[in-house]
Amino acid sequence: MHYHQSVHRGRVAVTEVILHCAAIQTGQFDGMSPWQVFSCVNRWHTERGFKHGFGYHGLFMPNGAYFPGRPWDMIGAQTIGHNVGTIGLLLIESQKIDRVGEFSDWFTVAQERSLKAKIGSVPGINKVSGHNDYAPKLCPGFKVKSADWLPAKSPLDRLLSGAVAS
Ligand SMILES: [Zn+2]
pLDDT in tens, 116-162: 999 999 999 999 999 999 999 999 999 999 999 999 877 777 777 66
| In the chain, domain spans | 8-160
Q: Which CATH number fits domain 8-160: 3.40.80.10, 3.40.50.2000, 3.40.50.620, 2.10.10.90?
A: 3.40.80.10
Q: Are strands 12-13 and 8-9 parallel, antiparallel or unpaired?
A: antiparallel
Percent of the chain with pLDDT over 70: 94
Q: What is the mean pLDDT of the chain?
A: 93
Ligand 1 centroid to residue 76 C-alpha, Å: 12
CA of 59 relative to ligand 1 center, distance in Å: 12
Beta bridge partners of 89: 19, 58
For residue 32, which of 78, 56, 65, 68 has the smallest C-alpha distance? 65
Ligand 1: distance of its center to the CA of 20 in Å?
Answer: 4
The pLDDT of residue 2 is 46
So what's the pLDDT on residue 93? 98
Give the Å distances, CA to CA, from 86 to 79, 106, 112.
9, 23, 20
What's the pLDDT score for residue 59?
A: 98
Average pLDDT (101-121) is 98
Residue 108 has pLDDT above 80, yes or no: yes
